Structure 1
Amino acid sequence: MLVHLNDLVALRTSGTPRGITSVCSAHPVVIRAALRHGREAGSSVLIEATCNQVNHQGGYTGMMPDDFVAMVYGIADQENFPRDMIELGGDHLGPNPWRHLSADTAMAEAEKMIAAYVASGFRKIHLDASMGCAGEPVGLDDATTAERAVRLAIVAERVAQECGGQMPRYVIGTEVPPPGGADHALDTITPTDPQAAQKTVAVHKRQFEEAGLSEAFTRVIGLVVQPGVEFGNHNVIAYDRGKAKALAQMLDGEERIVFEAHSTDYQGVVPLTELVQDGFAIVKVGPELTFVLREALYALDLIASDLVPGYGDRPLKHQMESIMLAAPESWDRHYIGDAPEQTVLRHYSLSDRIRYYWSATQAEHAIKRLVSALNGKTVPLPLFWQHMPAAALFADAPLDPEDVLIWRVTQSLKAYHAACNH
């Protein structure tokens, strides 16, 4: 069954809940894996960029929204995946990248970002103005958050009308802890209080109506809540549907929305399936996909070290260590511990902050050298058993390293697909 975002509420209310995987990554291999899997599964693909990854100033990827769309569509064309089956989403679109500035300045930048996203063809827009700016509390109250979300929605509506095509569909709300995983070992995560979730919807509805955006509010399709799932640097909190029962029941009184669940990485098929069944119909995954990509790259790095004369001893891993040490700003605040502990976390943390560094020129050169070293080589079965046993199907035949990378990412995507289409 081909499921689109607009189908989710009707499927839930009819007693046949389905879900959609939100692929939150700007890595070309992850996007290629998602589109190839979508083609093979006959499903649409939702790909989202975050405010920090991609914005009108370039973000940490260096890409503006137009650049991101061009990359996604270029890969789609190569994979023979129809562009009209791609849903493009913007995640946490609000003042977050500029929250060190005054609220007025940060919101002015957020408006420019929203305009760039919508003009580029993004039509799933997560309005998230919940973060305090300079001189404000870390988390803002519902009224202020909704007021700023409406400011952004006004821009989105105007730009969409100017550009033509489908009008935006909105997601409101945010989740705690912040996106990307927690920085410490976790014991438990409390699901969002149902009354707090209801208040978020009510306050946003009132603010939209007062701004003359009643029709736009009918296109609010999702509410971000915390279902009680999270991952930190070291561990994962799995979904406990008993603890989220009251929150899930809140949807019984909502005819227009589903829940959007963030940080569902590393949950596995059974918890993900229960999430979808309970109304968390949009399940977002990001760090898990680049974590398993790194896992495959490092395994191939080890295989090449053992197999290819002159390749060296794990040059890719050593290069990534050098890159991260030279530019620590994307990991040092998040990886607490002594030097050996930080060394492990830089490469193997579940939060996967190494993902910020794959676009560095030195990293790209190291990966290119790895791929060149193994391309067409026949890797003996015992070497795969040693370094990546699950990939043994690639043994004893000429190797295309990119096939291994895409295969590994696809294993995670298949778990999401199974859960969303149970």
Structure 2
Amino acid sequence: MKTNPLAGLASARRNGAPYGITSICSAHPVVIQTAIRRAVADKEATLLIEATCNQVNQFGGYTGMTPEVFVAFVLEIAGKEGLDASRILFGGDHLGPNPWRAEPAAQAMDKAETMVSAYVKAGFSKIHLDASMGCAGEPTALDDETIAIRAARLAKAAETAARAASSALPVYIIGTEVPAPGGVNHTISDLKPTEAAAARRTIAVHREIFAREGLTDTFGRVIAVVVQPGVEFGSQNVVAYAPEASRALTGLLDEEPSLVYEAHSTDYQSRAALTALVDNGFPILKVGPGLTFALREAFYGLDLIASEMVDGYGDRPLAHTMEQVMLAAPGHWHSHYHGSEADLYLQRHYSYSDRIRYYWSNPAAVAAVSRLRKALDGVAIPETLMRQFLPTLSATLGPAGNPEAIFHAAVGQVLADYDAACRGGSD
């Protein structure tokens, strides 16, 4: 296997030749397959695929997958597509007590330890230690020392698991300046980057606590810190990256030459903004909802096209099925969306937060997507309908009669911006 690209991010920045790596944060099989196909075509790329604590854990998470099952799921697709497993890195995102924060801290941290161990045993080699959230009876935001003490405890569990499995010791990400997994639930009007002083303290406190706990070598494998660079998306808007606002954060990296930043919530940023993030010390670009948002656009565009041209298909049956599925099980969206019934309907289907992504694995949704596939398989879609309902994609995709190609093109179009940004803005 080629050198782990994560290991060279900080030195590349110091040497004036920064590069980035895209972190694919999704469990949707079409998204995973698209990313794998792009890696196969690239031949040089290392693919980074991540799972969050809510998405995948020892109890199955909302995907129903444990870490071991998630790795097997990805590797099965990789095997079918011809991508060697050695070219895939697995990362664990926000690993900590978040899924159990309604429980007392002692119980939540016990479960978090078990989860981190399960991730490492399954082959995850990039671990984001995030114990920033308060548990039952605690403040919502914890102090730096408590966060670092809990992070060190989780790091010990990860180290023990790696040694027991005779696998390479993980690299780590520390810090958090982002919403809890799942994103913000409101329109964002004012967003400020993390202050350099706060980032400096996060690093210093973690370094001190890790040393106190006998984890100096472990801290030496901390490669990045999560901060807020000034990018975010809410339900209805996106805050674009403004490089000048995070200049002090970028400068801090000169004091910490072995570190870079990890940028969360980069979804919906322009190629130019993503390129600037990489150049300015934020080379790990995490994207998830933006990919499934693009896929949902393709699903719904083809749903409209099939409604127009396929006899017996009906009037937008996929969209109607998704509405029924989301109303029947509102747990993934009801606390995130607000407003009138009309507002809620639009947000359920078209929000940048993309809470609909939690429902694509529902059996009724799977059946509706399968019906859409079958309805358009081999059907030549006129370029005029492609222009009408899928205007961001090449109209020449339609006449091929291959809906799968359209699904993958929608996701691939987003990933192309990330690939370009990670290479300095060029295709």
Question: When the two structures are superposed, what TM-score results if normalisation uses the length of structure 1?
Answer: 0.98
1:88 alignment partner, SS class:
strand
Instruction: State the one-letter code of the partner of 1:21.
Output: T
Distance 1:396 1:200 in 2: 54
Once the two structures are TM-superposed, the CA of residue 180 in structure 1 deviates from its matched residue by: 3.4
- Residues 68-83 of structure 1: matches in 2 within 5 Å? 68-83=70-85
CA–CA distance in structure 2, aligned partners of residues 374 and 67 of structure 1: 32
Aligned to 2:31: 30
Tell me if 1:64 matches 2:86. Answer: no
For the residues of structure 2 that align with 1:27 and 1:177, how far apart are their CA atoms?
22
Q: Distance in 2 between matches of 1:396 and 1:359?
A: 29
Q: Deviations over 1:62-118 (max 9, x none)?
A: 010011000110111111111111010000000000000000000011011011100
Q: Could you tell me which of 121, 134, 151 is aligned with 1:149?
A: 151
Counterparts of 1:15-54 in structure 2, within 5 Å, are 15-42=16-43, 43-54=45-56
Which sits farther off after the overlay, 85-94 or 172-181? 172-181
Q: Measure the CA separation in 2 of the matches of 1:2 and 1:163.
A: 21
Please state how far the C-alpha of 1:241 moved relative to its aligned partner: 0.6
CA contact (8 A) 1:179 1:263 kept: no
2:129 equivalent in structure 1 = 127
More displaced stretch, 400-409 vs 386-395: 386-395
Partner AA of 1:64 in structure 2 = T
Contact 1:3 1:20 in 2 (8 A): no
CA distance in 1, matches of 2:149, 2:5: 29
Matched, 1:266 2:268: yes
Distance 1:204 1:401 in 2: 49
Q: Which 4+ runs in 1 deviate beyond 6 A?
A: none
Matches of 2:145 and 2:4 in 1, distance apart? 34
Residues 147-196 of structure 1, C-alpha deviations (whole Å, 9 max, x = no match): 00111111100010011121100000011333433222212310001111
Deviations 1:178-233 (A, max 9, x none): 34332222123100011110111111111111111111111000100000111000
Q: Which whole-Å CA distance do the structure 2 matches of 1:209 and 1:273 have between them?
A: 35
Select the residue among 328, 331, 342 that pairs with 2:330. Answer: 328
Secondary structure, aligned partner of 1:92? strand
Please state whether the residue corresponding to 2:92 is helix, strand or coil: strand
CA distance in 2, matches of 1:39, 1:312: 38
Other structure's SS at 1:306 match: helix
User: Match of 2:210, SS?
Assistant: helix
- 2:229 alignment partner, SS class: coil
Counterpart Cα distance in 1 of 2:394 and 2:59 = 40
Which consecutive residues of structure 2, in runs of 5 or more, have no partner in the other structure?
A: none
**How many Å separate the matches in 2 of 1:396 and 1:29?**
21
CA contact (8 A) 2:54 2:181 kept: no
AA at the equivalent of 1:374: L
CA contact (8 A) 1:2 1:44 kept: no
Are the counterparts in 1 of residues 178 and 264 from structure 2 also a CA contact under 8 Å?
no
SS of structure 2 residue aligned to 1:227: coil
- Is 2:295 aligned against 1:300? no
How large is the Cα RMSD of the aligned pairs? Answer: 1.2
SS of equivalent residue, structure 1 residue 253: coil
- 1:394 corresponds to which letter in structure 2? L
Cα drift, residue 144 of structure 1:
0.3
- The structural deviation recorded for 1:40 is 1.4
SS at match of 1:203: helix
Letter in 2 for 1:36: R
1:115 to 107, 114, 117: 117
Superposed CA deviations along residues 3-49 of structure 1, whole A, max 9, x for unmatched, are 71111011011111111110100111101111111121231110000
Gapped regions of structure 1 (runs ≥ 5): none
Equivalent residue for 1:234, pick from 217, 233, 236: 236
Deviates more, 1:323-332 or 1:36-45: 36-45
Report the counterpart of residue 375 of structure 1 in structure 2.
Answer: 377
Alignment of 1:243-322 (within 5 A): 243-322=245-324
Give 3-state SS (helix, strand or coil) of 1:29's partner: helix
Offset at residue 255 of structure 1 (A): 1.7
Letter in 2 for 1:415: D
Percent identity of paired positions between Structure 1 and Structure 2:
54
Q: Is 1:6 aligned to 2:7, yes or no?
A: yes
Q: How does 1:93-104 map to 2 (within 5 A)?
A: 93-104=95-106
Is the contact between residue 181 and residue 232 of structure 1 (CA under 8 Å) also seen in structure 2? Answer: yes
The residue type paired with residue 408 of structure 2 is I
Matched position secondary structure for 1:242: helix
Shift of 1:256: 1.2
Partner Cα separation in structure 1 for residue 421 and residue 36 of structure 2: 18
SS in 1 for 2:262: strand
Query: Which is further off, 286-295 or 182-191?
Result: 182-191
The answer to whether the 8 Å contact 2:52/2:181 transfers is no
CA distance in 2, matches of 1:176, 1:114: 20
Query: In the superposition, relative to structure 1, how do residues 56 and 179 fare at CA in structure 2: closer, same or farther (>3 Å)?
Result: closer
Counterpart in the other structure of 1:393: 396
Contact kept? 2:294, 2:411, Cα under 8 Å: yes
Structure 1 residue 2: Cα displacement: 8.3
**Aligned-pair CA distance for 1:378:** 1.1
Q: Which residue of 2 aligns with 1:354?
A: 356
Confirm or deny: 8 A CA contact 1:173 1:224 kept in the other structure. Answer: yes
State how far apart, in whole Å, the 2-side matches of 1:142 and 1:275 are.
26
What is the one-letter code of the residue matched to 1:384? M
What is the CA–CA distance in structure 1 between the aligned matches of 2:236 and 2:185, rounded to whole Å? Answer: 9
**1:362-410: per-residue Cα shift (whole Å, max 9, x none)?**
000111111011111111121112111223121323x221111111100
1:296–1:405 contact (8 Å) kept in structure 2: yes
Q: Secondary structure at the match of 2:399?
A: coil
The residue type paired with residue 79 of structure 2 is D
Partner in structure 2 of residue 407 of structure 1: 409
Matched residue count? 421
What secondary structure does 1:362 align onto? helix
- Alignment of 1:136 with 2:144, yes or no, is no
